[in-house]
Amino acid sequence: MPQSFDASRSLTALEQDNTIVAVIEMSKAKWLIAALVPGFKRQPLKIPLLPTRHHC
């Protein structure tokens, strides 16, 4: 069974002033994208992104 990631056991500290943190949460109904970028003021937006089906 695969083990889940446990950040508390990480050997490297997260440098928040120098690290871009991005998260993408996807479901069949909607997507949520969030990011923390050093040097940018926090401006939360709540705009749902609806997934589209691409046909080849």
For 1-33, what is each residue's pLDDT tens digit?
Answer: 677 878 777 778 878 889 999 998 888 888 888
Number of domains in the chain: 1
The answer to whether residue 9 sits within a structural domain is no
The answer to whether residue 4 sits within a structural domain is no
4-16 in b/e form (b: 16+ CB < 10 A) is eeeeeeeeeeeee
Q: Torsions phi, psi of 24, nearest 5?
A: -125, 120
Please give the residue range of the domain that contains residue 47. 16-56
Residue 55: pLDDT above 50? no
Its pTM stands at 0.54
At residue 47 the predicted structure's pLDDT band, cuts being 50, 70 and 90, is confident
